[in-house]
Amino acid sequence: MTSLEALKQYTTVVADTGNFKQLAQFAPQDATTNPSLILKAVQQPDYQPLLAETVAAHRDEPLDQVIDRVLVRFGLEILKVVPGRVSTEVDARLSFDTAATIARAQRIMAMYEDAGIPRERVLIKIASTWEGIQAARALEHEGIHCNLTLLFSFCQAVACGEAGVQLISPFVGRIYDWYKRQAGSAWDEAANAGVNDPGVKSVTQIYNYYKHFGIETEVMGASFRNVGQILALAGCDLLTISPELLAQLQASNEPVTRRLDPEAARAASIKAVSYNEASFRYALNEDAMATEKLAEGIRLFAADAVKLEGLVQAL
């Protein structure tokens, strides 16, 4: 049994890519995309005809609508390969506008439904700002399920659980990056590996809290830097993994041990917390890592959205 096959015994494996031609070899259940992954894909020769065809068919529509058409077209192709769900992201520039996020999510879902895809197979990705979480709360009431991304802190996770969102994507690798950079030459890689990795510890805390209190929101670890981080989270509800790391898992026969366990979480002593807008913003502000990485993540996704617009306009 490969490490990938062993991992699938405990965790739903998701592919983190816009490159749908790579997917079948790993047999993931779901797939996630974001503006950066789609931008990377459309610049490859294999996908340029798909981009040109989609833009040509909708040239008379507003630019933001054409971009959503491109994102959905990739999602439709992905859904031909995976049996489960695809995650498609709302423009990161709307991360602080609840009403605009809701409207964009509704439009993306309508595009999928017009193509014959049921709502159950689509997750709308939204940044885990206070405004994004409130948009997700409203969308979930409409039966539009959401994947709250750019999640770096416990307070974001608790607020998402309270909002009843379908799924969260805590970013393991970017948390690791921040702490490693802060430590500089004092960073001890061995001491901060596996279950001691700061990103792994963050996801473990969130998973245990959700399971302890019976919160139904799914936890999907994301943004991995190495296989060690993935294996340290075996047992998490889902893990979304890049094709490069999926290939490493597939090529390995290292045994996989379950690390996260719902029964152990339910038996643990954990204190309940709750956030309103003011306490959420303060808790996030107190977490320098989460504040910086959330802001940086939104900026990076927004910049790639602008680049994607430029490619579309050039056609």
- Relative to beta strand 218-221, strand 146-151 is unpaired
In sequence order, what DSSP letters do the residues of 112-168 get, joined into one string? HHHTT--GGGEEEEEE-SHHHHHHHHHHHHTT--EEEEEE-SHHHHHHHHHHT-SEE
Cα atoms in the 13 Å half-sphere on the side-chain side of 286: 9
| Active-site residue, 125 included | yes
Q: Is 293 helix (H, G, I), strand (E, B) or coil?
A: helix
Of the candidates 8, 21, 40, 125, the residue annotated as catalytic is 125
Q: Is 31 helix (H, G, I), strand (E, B) or coil?
A: strand
DSSP 11: S
State how far the Cα of 239 lies from the Cα of 30, in Å rounded to an integer.
Answer: 10
Identify the bridge partners of residue 148 per DSSP, sorted by sequence position. 126, 168
State how far the Cα of 81 lies from the Cα of 83, in Å rounded to an integer.
Answer: 7
**Residues noted as catalytic:** 125
